[in-house]
Amino acid sequence: MQRQSSRQATIQARLPFVIIFLIALAAYLIVNLANFQFFPRSVRQEMERRGSAITSSTRRIPAERGLIYDRDGDPMAFNVLQYRVGVSPDLVADPESLRKELALILDVDEYELLRRIQSENVWEFLAGPVSAEQGQAIAELDAIAIDLERIPRRFYPQGSLAGHVIGFVIDEDLKGAMGVEGAYNDTLAGRVLDLAISNVPLGLPEDLPADQRGQDIVLTLDRDVQFWVESELRHAVEVSGAFRGTVIVMDPRNGDILAMANDPTLDPNRFLEIEDPNLLRNPAVNETYEPGTIVQALTIAGALETGAIGPYWTYNDKGSISTGGLTIRNRNFQQFGAIDIAQILVRSVNVGAATIGLEMGADDFYSMMRGFGLGQSTGVDLFAEANGELTVPGDTNWAESNVGLNSFGQRMQATPLQIVTAFAAIANDGIMRQPRIVRQAITDQGLQEAQPITIRRVLSAETADFVTDLLIRTVNEGSPQALLPGYAIAGKPGTARIATALDYEVGPNSSITTFVGFLPADDPRVVVMVKLDRPDDYYGHEVAAPVFRRIVERLVILLEIPTDSVRQRLETSAAGRYAASG
């Protein structure tokens, strides 16, 4: 009894310590439970993150890219939907049945298909990209084990037509590169969306927001004009033996580019197959060349505008002139004697142009060349436009002889678009418009018109009219190959010898030939430039002028430009009706 009484006394003595320990343990558990429930910054967030990673994933969904149309609403670029097909083998209830159904749709090897369906992996790729029709057929199987991932693709229904102008997209995110696709990528691309995708087969798909879609745009290009121009250019390159060629058609009144063609061109649908990276550049905008004698017209226009010469200016041509330690000569060492400014253009007299440039002086000469846009980008809404090169006094590589050489287009670099834009200013009464390729944007609020942009007035209307008359004589007397019956055409051929590292090349395939003209000369609707690189024949009036004629022969029909006599009768009739009503 005494021993039992002693044991009870010991238990009773220790019991308070046990109770205190249990109370402390319970309090600890309660505090931690409350911390897990109400303060989840650590454990709870980590568990939620892990749970979310198991049941869902984040997929970047590119927006539906805006469409591209020509000026008449014909599609130039739109989207097609393809799919990547996968399977979760653990969720397949009947592999044989699924294999047969998928094999009929996908037209793939059935044994390889069955091997993947019965794989021990969590997820297996089956096929892709597959067409939208195949994807729809697979979706109608209503198999929870099948995963269809949307793959947007860009498609160009016109193939290679205007390929350099339209550009292309470079990846599944549909990022634009080159041309309009590159220059207007932000407008076309819309808003990229990071979408939570459920990994649980029974999870419901989320609808994409409507405002994610990119804007559609309407180009200034005319598909029919572009097709005709490309056809004629391709023929010209083949017949002339040229290395390549470029043609630009512009409306001088507003700067609209109706056609911009290069040969060789590219097919945006197959740009990954292109082996020569140079074909990914647009020579009309991205590359420069030495424009040559076509610049004589700009030199004379600038001299008339600054007053350095008058309309009846003449000089005695002796066949050469020295400036800055350099002797400039006419082609074939010709001497023309007493000659006026019209004959300088008709006969393409380099010494005459250099004499006029020196009469102007460096300051006025380069002020006018800059006014015509040489040595600077035009601001056209195309990807990666080149600036060209025109050195001026004060530049490290400028020489005193540059004025004489620049006056007929040597020792300078310009893009074909810069030359077209300069002549368009003459055609538009001396007012230069910024060239543009996009006419409208289609938004939720309707059409947004791109307003024509005036860069500057380069010439007075009087000077522009006088130079136009000179250019009419240039065609009539010096380049009859460009004449089109029923229309007065103003224009200028150009020839530029191709410079090598040490000197200028000579002989066949050693020049770049051009012709720029506009019509109707008294009320210009279009300016057309033809440029052929390294043709078999040497001069612009022999090679480029006939191509110009063939192009405008069809162009006046496509653009419904009446002949001069018809226009004059219509204007006289309209004036008579107006006078009678008054």
Residues 231 and 116 reside in one and the same domain? no
Query: Is the CB of residue 344 less than 8 Å from the CB of residue 352?
Result: yes
Question: Which residues have CB under 8 Å from 561's CB, separation 6+?
Answer: 487, 519, 520, 525, 526, 555
The greatest distance separating any two alpha carbons of the chain, rounded to the nearest whole angstrom, comes to 153
Residues 251 and 215 reside in one and the same domain? no
Question: Which residues have CB under 8 Å from 376's CB, separation 6+?
Answer: 370, 387, 388, 390
Alpha-carbon distance 161 to 261, whole Å? 8
What pLDDT was estimated at residue 406?
97
What phi and psi values does residue 444 have, to the nearest 5 degrees? -60, -25
Instruction: Flag whether 129 is in a domain.
Output: yes
Alpha-carbon distance 180 to 309, whole Å? 43
Residues 213 and 285 reside in one and the same domain? no
What pLDDT was estimated at residue 162?
96
Q: What is the pLDDT along the chain (582 residues), one digit of tens a residue?
A: 555 566 666 666 666 766 777 787 777 777 666 665 554 555 555 545 545 554 455 555 667 889 999 999 999 998 888 888 888 888 887 888 887 888 888 877 777 888 888 877 778 787 778 888 888 888 887 777 788 888 888 899 999 999 999 999 987 678 888 899 999 999 998 776 655 555 444 344 445 555 668 899 999 999 999 999 999 999 999 999 999 999 999 999 999 999 999 999 999 999 888 888 888 999 999 999 999 999 999 999 999 999 999 999 999 999 999 999 999 999 888 999 999 999 999 999 999 999 999 999 999 999 999 999 999 999 999 988 999 999 999 999 999 999 999 999 999 999 999 999 999 999 999 999 999 999 999 887 788 888 999 999 999 999 999 999 999 999 999 999 999 999 999 999 999 888 775 567 776 788 899 999 999 999 999 999 999 999 998 888 999 999 999 999 999 999 999 999 999 888 777 666 666 665
Domains held by the chain: number: 2
Residues 253 and 212 reside in one and the same domain? no
Compute the C-alpha angle 181/182/187, nearest 5°.
70
**Nearest one of 529, 534, 531 to 511, comparing CA atoms:** 534
Alpha-carbon distance 435 to 250, whole Å? 8
What pLDDT was estimated at residue 107?
76
What pLDDT was estimated at residue 246?
98
Strand partners, 146: 87
Instruction: Flag whether 286 is in a domain.
Output: yes
Instruction: Flag whether 552 is in a domain.
Output: yes
What pLDDT was estimated at residue 560?
95
**Nearest one of 574, 446, 467, 582 to 521, comparing CA atoms:** 467
What is the CATH classification number for the domain harbouring 332?
3.40.710.10
What phi and psi values does residue 495 have, to the nearest 5 degrees? -130, 130
Residues 350 and 431 reside in one and the same domain? yes
Burial 215-235 (b: 16+ CB within 10 A, else e): bbbbbbbbbbbbbbbbebbee
Helix (H) or strand (E) holding 514: strand 511-519
Residues 436 and 422 reside in one and the same domain? yes
Residues 365 and 259 reside in one and the same domain? yes
What pLDDT was estimated at residue 203?
41
Instruction: Flag whether 62 is in a domain.
Output: yes
Task: Look at the block and give the residue holding tokens 């984040």.
Answer: 58
Instruction: Flag whether 2 is in a domain.
Output: no
Residues 114 and 255 reside in one and the same domain? no
**Nearest one of 261, 249, 222, 303 to 524, comparing CA atoms:** 249
What pLDDT was estimated at residue 197?
54
Residues 550 and 494 reside in one and the same domain? yes
Compute the C-alpha angle 235/240/241, nearest 5°.
100
Residues 291 and 413 reside in one and the same domain? yes
Residues 139 and 261 reside in one and the same domain? no
Q: Domain residues for 427?
A: 223-567
Residues 495 and 545 reside in one and the same domain? yes
Alpha-carbon distance 373 to 433, whole Å? 11
Alpha-carbon distance 545 to 517, whole Å? 9
Instruction: Flag whether 355 is in a domain.
Output: yes
Whole-prediction pTM: 0.83
Instruction: Flag whether 7 is in a domain.
Output: no
What is the CATH classification number for the domain harbouring 142?
3.90.1310.10
Instruction: Flag whether 437 is in a domain.
Output: yes
